[in-house]
Chain A
Amino acid sequence: MLEALDLQFTILLLSNGVMIGLMYSLIALGFVLVYKATDAVNFAQGEFVMIAGFVAVGALTVAGIPLWLSILAALVAMVGFGFALERVMLRKLIGRPIIAVVMATIGLAAILRGLGPFGIFQGTRPLPLPLRDEPFILGPLFIPPIQLLGGIVSLVFLAGFGYFFLKSRKGVAMRAVADNQQVAMAMGIDVERYFGLAWAMTGVVSALGGVLWGNMLGVDVNLALVGFKVFPVVILGGLDSIPGAIIGGLIVGLVENLAAGYIDPYVGGGTKDFAPYVLMILALMIRPYGIFGKRIIERV
């Protein structure tokens, strides 16, 4: 009897880990897209998700716009934000040392988080989606509908962007830009336009992440903390790899759920945020380019 319960507990942790992991992958995808195309890193990914959530909830509850229009508003706002950010800030930092871009996005994160309390509403607001509350029960599995939706949206977008980079003309051009900016320019590719496009694509992914995570956690400044999960995901999977984002997300989701289930009782909580980082440190020491990342890493 006890063993059956144990088994069910484990299965529950695993299924939950897979679903949450896929939702991490979605946010990590935003990071990967920018890194892949522009070699820039975005330490403000979590804040992108946060403001997308703010826009969606603000449109829904404060302005009273219907849900689908609110989500559309978040998408449009984030795309515009991505373009504007590239134009105003990141273009000026091209060719500067990596620490400049890292610090600039950290600064951006500080701005966005600081602006939170100045927003259109105070406190935490729910972002209701037309989903039922009871979980789907499939044998031993309990899957909350939001997680199922999140997993499906993540997979669709990961596959979509994967196809985009592999096959479409724009995607190929973007890879060329990432590979070598000067050669890409010589081939007649408008490098700056593709930089803007990459940031706009990150905006799209962040908007969806903001809606999904906003529904799960409620929308307030703490939504940005999701961004801390991005780093283990992308390091494990490989910074420039879309399949890597999926695998990394799954690993992080599983590890943190198993750690929370089996280690938390002994140390008194908090392992969820801690275990992925330990794993990441190990990955950095053994295989810093990740599972799928390209092997050219700046070595010392």
Chain B
Amino acid sequence: MALYPLPIAKYTVAALGVLFFLVLPLSLHEYYLSIANLVWISIIGALGLNILVGYTGQVSIGHGAFMSVGAYTAANFATRLDFPWPVNLLLGGLMAAAIGAIVGIPSLRIKGLYLAIATLAGQLIIEWTINHVTFISGGVQASIEVPRPQLGTVVLNTHREMYFFLLFFVVVAIVGTMNLMRSRVGRAFVAIRDQDIAAEIIGINIFRYKLLAFAISSFYAGVTGVLYTYYFGIANYEQFQIGVSIDYLAMIIIGGLGSVLGSIFGAAFVTLLPIGIRYGMEAVSGVLFSEATVHNLIPALRLTLFGALIIVFLVLEPEGLNRLWRNIRSYFRVWPFAY
């Protein structure tokens, strides 16, 4: 099958490539690039969760914990053994994959609700372990500082440099996910999601593929955690608590389950929403609230809006932003003739 179904897709991808690799990073202010960087990191995590939840149909409320596994693995290797970042990135991903496969073991016996609760337990247990085992967490406030990543002799310090660094991994993750889903493995995942008994009958080893789905998803999560660590320069378990797992679930539900584009939309939307809220609140803050109140209310408002959006999308548009985008696109494809 061709990589691009239509010639226009090729031009669109080329145009987007120029936009994101040249126009935006060279024209935008550092502050906006720092926001873009957060979006890039969360896209990778959302893609990973979507492989598990959207494509394979296994619920997981432990994505944040797998990120913390990756983050602390990389941080420990970076500080204790002075490994360079590519090695740490790989090790962090692999460690998260191993832990993810272990947490995924219950999925072989149970599914649906029970699996959701089991992964929730995984999240809490991993959180607790990292927080209480000083060998992992480094002791002081359970946070480890890491050196800035280097490319050759260049140390990546600014947001602009990190932008290119992170964008590279985003592209790898997107292309990797799309190709994964066109492979035997990806199709096996979809088959398991749609009807696991039928999948087993046509010769898919459910045991292997479910664990594989958990491992791949956790690998993405681990890489996300490592990137967070290198981006902020510090590994801290507070960045990976259960709220993060729920944020990522919100991303893929709002964006669209089982779609790469949906993961991207969702990650961007959920990351940008609190920033949008802050602008909105600051615009009206002088009228309604004092500045200190606004500062306290933003996280709460964000949480409420997330919850409301999750429910609205679940009830009204289960296929998420991706479906809305397709509706818009197919409307304009035949515009102005509606039929």
Interface residues of A (CB under 8 A from B): 41, 89, 92-93, 96-100, 102-104, 106-118, 228, 231-232, 235, 239, 267-268, 270, 273-274, 277-278, 280-281, 284-285, 288, 297-300
Contact = CB atoms under 8 A, between A and B. Distances in A.
B253 A103 contact: yes
Interface stretch (B23-31, B90-98, B217-225, B299-307): B299-307
B109 A108 contact: no
A109 B242 CA distance: 13
A100 B246 CA distance: 14
Given A93-B315, A281-B118, A297-B110, A273 B124 contact: yes
Contacts of B114: 235, 284, 288, 297-298
Given A103-B314, A106-B310, A281-B106, A268 B121 contact: no
A35 B176 CA distance: 40
Contact of B307 (A110, A274, A280): A110
A106 B125 contact: no
Given A107-B310, A300-B111, A270 B121 contact: no
Nearest to B108: A300
Contacts of A270: 128, 131-132
Given A110-B307, A228-B124, A273-B124, A118 B300 contact: yes
B110 A284 contact: yes
A64 to B, nearest CB: 25
A118 B109 contact: no
B300 A116 contact: yes
B308 A300 contact: no
A221 to B, nearest CB: 9
Contact of B125 (A96, A102, A268, A277): A277
Number of chain B interface residues as a range: 35 or more
A89 B318 contact: no
Nearest to B196: A300
B117 interface: yes
Contacts of B17: none
B295 to A, nearest CB: 11
Contacts of A277: 121, 124-125
Contacts of A280: 117, 121
The 9 A-B pairs of least Cβ separation, nearest first, read A110-B307, A114-B303, A114-B304, A107-B310, A111-B307, A98-B112, A107-B307, A277-B121, A117-B300
Interface of B: 53, 57, 59, 61, 105-114, 116-118, 120-122, 124-125, 128, 131-132, 196, 206, 210, 246, 249-250, 253, 296-297, 299-311, 314-315, 318
Contacts of A298: 110-112, 114
Nearest to A221: B300
6 contacts: A106-B249, A111-B308, A112-B307, A118-B300, A270-B128, A298-B110
B18 to A, nearest CB: 37
Contact of A300 (B61, B110, B310, B315): B110
Contacts of A267: 132
A284 B315 contact: no
A278 B184 CA distance: 36
A107 B311 contact: yes
B116 A102 contact: yes
A109 B303 CA distance: 9
Contacts of A239: 113
A277 B120 CA distance: 9
A273 B59 CA distance: 23
Contact of A111 (B59, B61, B196, B304): B304
A283 to B, nearest CB: 10
Given A110-B306, A114-B299, A285-B106, 5 more contacts: A89-B311, A102-B59, A103-B253, A107-B314, A109-B307
Given A99-B53, A277-B121, A280-B121, A114 B300 contact: yes
A284 B106 contact: yes
Contacts of B196: 300
B255 to A, nearest CB: 13
B308 A281 contact: no
A277 B296 CA distance: 32
Nearest to B312: A107
Contacts of B297: 117-118
B181 to A, nearest CB: 19
B113 A104 contact: no
Contacts of B132: 267-268, 270
B314 A114 contact: no
Given A93-B314, A99-B59, A268-B132, A300 B116 contact: no
A107 B253 CA distance: 11
A33 to B, nearest CB: 16
B304 A110 contact: yes
A300 B107 CA distance: 8
Given A110-B306, A274-B128, A102 B113 contact: yes
Contacts of A111: 303-304, 307-308, 311
Contacts of A115: 300, 304
